[in-house]
Amino acid sequence: MESHFSRVFFFLLTISFTIMVDSHHTEAIEYTVGDSDRWSTGINYLEWSQKYNFTVGDILVFKYVLSQHNVYQVTETTFRSCDMTSGIISIHLSGNDRIELKEPTKYWFICTTKGHCKGGMRFGITVAESNHGEEEAPPSDYTTSTSSGDSSQ
Ligand SMILES: [Cu+2]
């Protein structure tokens, strides 16, 4: 009797632990910048950046040929001007850079190889707070008047 109880208890414990691990796993998403095109010239990164909703904890992976490109996280001003003499937040040069999006803010990235920033190797994203708190208000225009009378009880 006693051992049966402890076995059930252990079973439930295992299940809840598995659920915890699973829900944690689904939180952080890894995005390869440019998807299969990677980080290169001739790609529309504005379009790419608008495909996803980024959340705190997600990771951007920049894959490119080492020394042909680079990744500078910059201010919005530097993103717009492509003038990299100022406004640099961080520099990544490895060819396989993983950047964790730690803050719910705007991130701006450019490549500083000559001509590449102006040529389109730049984008900005807005990173949202993680959904734990359910801060978003439900849609205000939520009405239930879908049918027009006939099928009402
Ligand atoms: Cu480049």
Place of tokens 């790419």: 48
State in Å: Cα 48 to ligand 1 middle.
16
- Rounded-to-integer distance, Cα 14 and Cα 22, Å: 12
CATH code of 26-128, in short, is 2.60.40.420
State in Å: Cα 121 to ligand 1 middle.
6
What are 51-77's pLDDT values in tens digits? 999 999 999 999 999 999 999 999 999
Give all strands of the β-sheet with 96-100 in edge-to-edge order.
Answer: 30-32, 59-63, 96-100
Using the predicted structure, report yes or no on whether residue 20 has a pLDDT greater than 60.
Answer: no
Share of the chain above pLDDT 90, in %: 66
- pLDDT of 27 reads 72
The answer to pTM > 0.75 is no
State in Å: Cα 54 to ligand 1 middle.
23
Domain coordinates of the chain in residue numbers?
A: 26-128
State in Å: Cα 72 to ligand 1 middle.
10
State in Å: Cα 77 to ligand 1 middle.
19
State in Å: Cα 142 to ligand 1 middle.
46
- pLDDT of 130 reads 86
Tell me which residues have their CB within 5 A of the ion that is ligand 1: 69, 111, 113, 116, 121
What are 93-126's pLDDT values in tens digits? 999 999 999 999 999 999 999 999 999 999 999 9
Using the predicted structure, report yes or no on whether residue 34 has a pLDDT greater than 50.
Answer: yes
- CA 70-112-92 angle, 5° bins: 30
- pLDDT of 147 reads 43
State in Å: Cα 119 to ligand 1 middle.
9
State in Å: Cα 64 to ligand 1 middle.
8
